Amino acid sequence: MSIKLIICISVLLVVSVTPTLAAHTGLDEFGKSRQMVAQEMVEEVITSFEDSPTDTISMINDMDNPLFHDGNVYALIVDLDGTLVAHGSTPEMVGTSIYDVDDLGALFEEASPHGWWIEYDWENPASSTDESNIVWLKTKWGHNFGAGIYLDSLFDYDIELTEYDRERQRLAQSMVEKTIEIYSTQPDLALSMIHDTANPLFHDRELYVTIVHVNGTIVADGRYPEMVGADIEFILDTSGVNLGDLYDANISLYGRWIEYAWPNPFLSTTGDLKLAWTKTSGDYIYSVGIYPESPDKEYEDILTEFDHDRRAAAEMMIQNAITMFGMDMMQTVDIIHDMDNSLFHDEELYVVISDSDGTIVAHGSYPHLVGQNLHDITGGRGLVLGELFETSTYHGNWVEYHWPNPAAENNMQEKMTLLVSRGGYTFSVGIYPNYKVAYEDLTPYDVDRRHLAQSMVEHAISSFETNPSLTIDTIHDDTNKLYRDNELYVTITHHNGTIVAHGQSPDLVGADIETIRDSRGKLLGDIYDDYQSIYGSWAEYHWPNPIISDSEDDSYLAWIKTSSDYIFSSGIYPEFDYD
């Protein structure tokens, strides 16, 4: 068994999985954004509790505290005995036991060190009625830290978002974070960049930045700099909505989407629907918005869970290429052209770099194209690649065309490529949507379990790097929920094939994975060879489910990820009915 070559350099490369939002049936993109707020709030609670438990409990029980109360999202703490230690929605319940409230005790026992969603009814003080409530729970330091959302009070946005819209939403959120980062340390520089319409950091087609002081004074506006100094309390949108009232009603330390009518600078229109991500930091409110009804461009909503995984891997690969290229251009180009290097080659993924004139500098699939100009190259349906690549932006732009897929015998297929401009060069990595049929028909519960498996692998990698022995011992402790959660467990295999840890079957430690077959005869060594990836990959085979007696032939979906000399894995059983 071999692990593909990985070039190690003394720089932090992006190979980790960003925590992914767990699924919940029926929530739209805006409901999911509130789930993200809940997850961020839990991290804030844990950090604060570590520093000062008493102050944290006091802030949670203070319903006017904005750090632990954000609209319909609130924080809570429950100890492992079931006693409510703090509750941001109903502080009068502090001291009671959740075991005395219907079946909540059993639900809270499902909490995980990696986080898990539970759902139950709880009184909403705003309406004085019991409402459906989902809570994100994480276990740490003998407590369950949570943040709840009242589903009935979620704002119902009557907007159909395309995949392109969702990508622009992510970009708007990223632009807000970058603005906060720079403005907090170099306000004059940030203002000059925001008001420079040629600056790609704070301008991307229809996207631009606005900063408003909490007293209502507009500090910066990337589209209308003449509005600087004006009071937003006296500004109406094109349908008559007062923007000051809208901002006041949506103050959030975590960020919220607000909706109003405003001119689209990319289309020179007078009053399009705008969705703006607004976030408060210090004394300022930062905002960047998208125009979801803009006819500019839309992706077809055809992406599968597999495609989204590959998009995430493509984004990580392109960031690694940008980082390395900035350090050593020639070495990066050489690595891109080394087909055996796994940093810039992962199944169908590879890197292409072109200069500002369109000349190809590096091409991970067809090195012979180096030196040719993209304006002289057409895709499978006649699109000139040079014209497409000119749409590259600092933050990244996804484009579609047809191109040979190296993982499918170079058959011509639809390709979705991310283009990022940095330092006079365009970096690109693309996926081939639907080229591989993988894990279809996953339930929302399966999707949640997938995210939990990925989180377990990330934690195991981090822990193993600092304390291998402790990590292995913890994996083999089936009472420790860090690496064992019902059917989920972790395995570690050395690149020579030796099993180092196996949370389900510790007796396999020391065995050679090359000699082990799944219940249908597939060699696990071959599976690991085919799916090993420093970015992570899902592999399907058949393996006994540890929570079912006499289980032998259950479908198993394993997240496999390579780090240094080891392969880490955790997986789910998607065909099993856990109800």
What distance in Å separates the CA atoms of residue 185 and residue 63, rounded to the nearest whole number?
31
Q: Which pLDDT score is estimated for 13?
A: 54
Q: Are strands 69-70 and 73-79 parallel, antiparallel or unpaired?
A: antiparallel
Q: Is the pLDDT of residue 25 over 60?
A: no
Range of the domain at 329: 305-431
Q: Which pLDDT score is estimated for 5?
A: 45
Q: Tell me: do 175 and 148 sit in the same domain.
A: no
Mean pLDDT of 138-154: 90
What distance in Å separates the CA atoms of residue 537 and residue 518, rounded to the nearest whole number?
18
Q: Is the pLDDT of residue 76 over 50?
A: yes
The structure tokens 């403005």 sit at 183
Q: Which pLDDT score is estimated for 339?
A: 94
Stretch (H or E) spanning 422: strand 411-422
Cβ atoms within 10 A of the Cβ of 264, count? 21
Q: Is the pLDDT of residue 314 over 60?
A: yes
Q: Which pLDDT score is estimated for 266?
A: 79
Which carries the bigger pLDDT value, residue 178 or residue 444? 178
What distance in Å separates the CA atoms of residue 240 and residue 222, rounded to the nearest whole number?
22
Q: Is the pLDDT of residue 9 over 60?
A: no
Asked whether residue 17 is domain-assigned, the answer is no
Q: Which pLDDT score is estimated for 102?
A: 74
Alpha helices in 288-362 (DSSP H): 305-327, 329-336
Asked whether residue 437 is domain-assigned, the answer is no
What distance in Å separates the CA atoms of residue 218 and residue 125, rounded to the nearest whole number?
35
Mean pLDDT of 145-170: 82
Q: Is the pLDDT of residue 578 over 80?
A: no
Question: What percent of the residues of the chain are helix, what percent strand, and what percent coil, each to the nearest 5?
Answer: 30, 30, 40
Asked whether residue 497 is domain-assigned, the answer is yes
Q: Tell me: do 421 and 522 sit in the same domain.
A: no
The structure tokens 């599968």 sit at 304
Q: Which pLDDT score is estimated for 166?
A: 85
Asked whether residue 95 is domain-assigned, the answer is yes
Q: Evaluate the CA torsion angle 55, 60, 63, 67 in order and state its sign.
A: positive
Q: Tell me: do 128 and 227 sit in the same domain.
A: no
- Three-state secondary structure call for residue 518: coil
Q: How confident is the model at residue 579 (pLDDT cuts 50, 70, 90)?
A: low
The structure tokens 């229109």 sit at 269
Domain count, the chain: 4
Instruction: Mention every residue, 6+ apart, whose C-beta is less than 8 A from residue 372.
Output: 359, 360
Q: Which pLDDT score is estimated for 304?
A: 80
Taking a C-beta distance cutoff of 8 angstroms, is the pair 475, 553 a contact? Answer: no
Q: Which pLDDT score is estimated for 1?
A: 60
Taking a C-beta distance cutoff of 8 angstroms, is the pair 354, 369 a contact? Answer: no
Q: How confident is the model at residue 7 (pLDDT cuts 50, 70, 90)?
A: very low
Mean pLDDT of 5-26: 46
Instruction: Mention every residue, 6+ apart, whose C-beta is less than 8 A from residue 181.
Output: none
Where on the phi/psi map is residue 524: left (φ > 0), alpha (ψ -120 to 50), or beta? Answer: alpha
Which one of 290, 315, 334 terminates a domain?
Answer: 290
Q: For residue range 88-133, list pLDDT tens digits in order.
A: 999 999 999 998 887 788 889 888 999 999 999 998 888 888 888 9
Q: Tell me: do 331 and 260 sit in the same domain.
A: no
Amino acid at position 372, single letter: Q
Q: Is the pTM value of this prediction over 0.85? A: no
Which one of 399, 431, 463 terminates a domain?
Answer: 431
Q: Tell me: do 147 and 205 sit in the same domain.
A: no
Inter-helix orientation angle 468-475/444-466, to 10°: 150
CATH number of domain containing 107: 3.30.450.20
Q: Is the pLDDT of residue 19 over 50?
A: no
Q: Which pLDDT score is estimated for 550?
A: 76
- Three-state secondary structure call for residue 74: strand
Q: Is the pLDDT of residue 277 over 90?
A: yes
Q: Which pLDDT score is estimated for 293?
A: 66
Which one of 290, 316, 336 terminates a domain?
Answer: 290
Q: Is the pLDDT of residue 301 over 80?
A: no
Q: Tell me: do 235 and 338 sit in the same domain.
A: no
Mean pLDDT of 349-367: 97
Reference 21, options 37, 40, 35, 4; nearest CA is 35
Q: Which pLDDT score is estimated for 256?
A: 93
Q: Tell me: do 174 and 279 sit in the same domain.
A: yes
Q: Which of 74-83, 435-444, 477-486, 533-542 has the lowest mean pLDDT?
A: 435-444
Q: Tell me: do 223 and 319 sit in the same domain.
A: no
DSSP state letter for 217: B
Q: What is the mean pLDDT of the chain?
A: 89
Q: Which pLDDT score is estimated for 343?
A: 95
Per the structure block, which two tokens stand in for 183? 């403005």
Q: Is the pLDDT of residue 509 over 50?
A: yes
Q: For residue range 438-483, list pLDDT tens digits in order.
A: 666 778 788 888 889 999 999 999 999 999 999 999 999 988 989 9
**pLDDT above 70 as % of the chain:** 91
Strands (E), 115-230: 116-124, 129-140, 143-150, 203-204, 207-213, 218-221
Stretch (H or E) spanning 20: none
Q: Which pLDDT score is estimated for 6?
A: 45
Mean pLDDT of 525-536: 92
Q: Tell me: do 515 and 549 sit in the same domain.
A: yes
Asked whether residue 229 is domain-assigned, the answer is yes
Q: Tell me: do 147 and 228 sit in the same domain.
A: no
Q: Tell me: do 272 and 231 sit in the same domain.
A: yes
Q: Is the pLDDT of residue 4 over 80?
A: no
Instruction: Mention every residue, 6+ apart, whose C-beta is less than 8 A from residue 253.
Output: 66, 67, 70, 279, 280, 281
Q: Tell me: do 199 and 253 sit in the same domain.
A: yes
Find the farthest-apart pair of alpha carbons in the chain and give their distance in angstroms, rounded. Answer: 74
Mean pLDDT of 12-29: 51
Asked whether residue 60 is domain-assigned, the answer is yes
Q: Which pLDDT score is estimated for 151?
A: 85
Stretch (H or E) spanning 80: none
Radius of gyration (Cα) for the chain, nearest Å? 25
Stretch (H or E) spanning 512: none
What distance in Å separates the CA atoms of residue 114 and residue 134, rounded to the nearest whole number?
16
Mean pLDDT of 391-420: 93
What distance in Å separates the CA atoms of residue 394 and residue 426, rounded to the nearest whole number?
9
Task: Calculate the CA 165 to chain-centre distance.
Answer: 16
Q: Which pLDDT score is estimated for 447?
A: 83
Instruction: Mention every residue, 6+ apart, whose C-beta is less than 8 A from residue 168.
Output: 206, 207, 290
Asked whether residue 438 is domain-assigned, the answer is no
Asked whether residue 454 is domain-assigned, the answer is yes
**pLDDT above 90 as % of the chain:** 68
Q: For residue range 192-222, list pLDDT tens digits in order.
A: 999 999 999 999 989 999 999 999 999 999 9
Exposure b/e, 317-340, CB count within 10 A at least 16 = b: bbbbbbbbbeeeeeebbebbbbee
